Amino acid sequence: MLPAELNQKYEVRGTLGAGAMGTVYDAVDRIIERRVAIKVVNRPNESDPEAVEAHARFRREAQAAGRLSHPNIVGVYDYGENATQAWIVMELVEGGSLKGRLDKNERFTVPEIVRIMGEVCAGLHYSHQRGVVHRDIKPGNIMLTPDGQVKIADFGIARLENSSMTQVGTLIGTPSYMAPEQFRGEPVDLRADIWASGVMLYQLLTGEKPFEGGFSAVMHKALHTEPPPPSTLSVTTPRAFDGVISRALAKRPDDRFRSAAEFADAIRAAASGNAPEPAMAGGLPGLPGLNEDATVVTARPVAGAAAAASTQARPATPAPAATGEKKGPPVALIAGGAGALVAAAGAAWFFLAGPGAGPDPAALERQRLEQEAAARDAQARAQATAEQAQREAATREAAAREQAAREAQARDIAAREQAARDQAAREAAARDQAAADAQARQAQAARDQAAAEQAAREAAAREQAARNAAARDQAARERAAAEQAARDAAAREQVAREQAAREQAARDQAAREQAARDQAAREQAARQQQQQQQQVAAARLDLRAAAQTLATQTPCSLIAWSATDRTMSLAGVVRRGDEASIRQNLSARGVPDDAAQLALTSFDGPYCAALDLFRPVLGPAGAAPSVQVVGRMPLQKGELLQFDVQMPDWPAHLYLAYFMKSGEVANLVPSTLYQGSARVRLGEPTGSFTGWEVDEPFGTDLAVVIASDRPLFGNSRPLVESQEAYMSALAAALRNARASGTRVVVRPIVVETVARR
């Protein structure tokens, strides 16, 4: 149900969706009669870090979308919280998502693709200019209204200007649409949205994603490979799109389009058959909203050098105030012309009449002053005429705005009237349906009455048939009793014969069982004698020394051991083939098979240096932390990689380092603090995190769980890094831990993956 703060303003019409995090309602604003969607979630428990992060994403969605108002972005109208719940009131988009249409294998024409991508780019360009980077552009977040208009949704993981709500080094986004810098854990800007939009354009053109597979496969392809050009996969795709896709999916952010608007222009140019213009050198022209508050305004490029030279040589003239305004009269030119006429008249008089001829010079001076005054009056009248024209233009613009407002108001009134008519039609349909239901109930009651009468007649007939059948059964039973008496006599004779045979068989069986017991007693005595001999031999062995030697001196291994006077236990990971060598060593030492318990897992991979580094901090056998893979090993392609971890009995920071045969290390769990004795499941999908999906290359990988009572690393590690870089940083961290008295315990586990079990 809605929070109490919303009940007076909004009326719930239905539920659009529900999940573990909350519910989305279809509602109507009672005051302005506007349909809205209200997303309501429960406030998190502060001790649950995942729930706190999910609530932060929810609030960030409201902050990101709330600062945006654009036709191609789902609008947010209100946000609020109380002691137990939080909510967002947003625009209701009645159509489905672009993903829903792609999942139905629906294909789009090139003009439709250009229109859809143009509206996506328009919304992104608007949000980028206001300091919001979406970071999760994908078909599932692109909503389409019934008339096909694009609405960008879900700004839950958007990056806001000057925001510290996103942790650096944490995987954010959907793998198939993530840019290389996102996989590397680097800071991202608007060019990550350009990459994701390029992936979506590729999918619209070809029906396929450029990078397919599980998490590790998509990451490898996005970082190191190039997808096939779209024109080679779809005969309807113009070849001009190959260059657009190549630039949008450039590995280096500096090589991509500098803005969503530039990307949209390139798409339209490719659709018209023109290849996109090459990018200007010099990187991005400023990212408004990401690094500073000011918007960078650049001059329009001049057509050529000759035009530039001509512009520099020509004196500057003021531009008109606005497009569509009338230019005023050239007042300066009129005044200058009048002055020139006066000067020309004076010069002509001087040369024609000569000195001393004609009127008095004082009269000429008065005439000149009168002419200049007339010129100034003409200039003032021209200026007044220009100002009057400007005022008239402003009046026309105001009238146009008022007319547009009246038309919008009329449209709103018409829409409300249409909604009222629709509501009346729905109510009439409901009344008709109620009447039809009443008639159906009456007809059903009549049918039920007829069925009851028919059932009564059938019951009477069945009772009469039952009485007749009982009489026949009685006669049959009497005949059967006579026949049974004869059979019983014959049976008694047969039983006597069988009893005699069974007694003889019993005597034979007793003899055989006695012989078997005698043989078992002899074998038991022999086994007891052998066990006594083995126990005497084991007592002479130092099992603790043998276990410690094998655990510490077996190369390329990480083995925990324990031992008593009579038994020993070895558990851990060893290089493939070394388990047989350990068993031979135990046999050579004279350790009985039942005295040694081995729980060793073999691997293939370049992990020896890592195991040597981890050996000094390996946890004792049987003690926490302990780790096991969820599911049946080996894991097959498409399954999720998950671990159950039992934490030690003291509060500890948890790290999960995943060593791959490629020589790289994935920091799957960078650092998370858990309480003592906590039981944790790692890799379980939640929110936008879809889990770690198993994919090629297959084989054996090494996962190492590290628990420490203080943080090991000063800075967050990259999501994926080379094994050499990780080992260098880990060695320094372990040295610092020993120097500061920090408690560190590790536990390894081998993960085996196959294409199919």
Catalytically active residues, by annotation: 136
Measure CA 49 to chain center.
Answer: 18
Number of H helices, E strands in the chain: 16, 21
Q: How far apart are CA 137 and CA 198, in angstroms?
A: 10
Give just the sign of the alpha carbon dihedral 174, 180, 186, 188.
Answer: negative
Asked if the peptide bond before residue 606 counts as cis, ω within 30 degrees of 0, the response is no
Q: How far apart are CA 673 and CA 686, in angstroms?
A: 19
| Nearest in space to 749 (alpha carbons), one of 701, 707, 712, 708 | 701
Angle subtended by helix axes 260-271 and 190-206, to nearest 10? 20
39 is in an annotated binding site: yes
**Contact criterion met (CB below 8 Å) for 16 and 24:** yes
Could you tell me which residues come within 8 angstroms of residue 492 by beta carbon, excluding any fewer than 6 positions away? none
DSSP β-ladder status, 596-603 and 568-575:
parallel
Asked if the peptide bond before residue 288 counts as cis, ω within 30 degrees of 0, the response is no
Q: Round to the nearest angstrom and report the end-to-end CA distance of the chain.
A: 47
**Contact criterion met (CB below 8 Å) for 110 and 238:** yes
| Nearest in space to 705 (alpha carbons), one of 627, 595, 607 | 627
| Nearest in space to 560 (alpha carbons), one of 629, 518, 491, 619 | 619
**3-state SS, residue 70:** coil
For the beta carbon of residue 565, count every other beta carbon within 10 angstroms.
Answer: 11
Residue type, 683: G
Binding site per annotation, positions for ATP? 39
Residues placed in the known binding site: 39
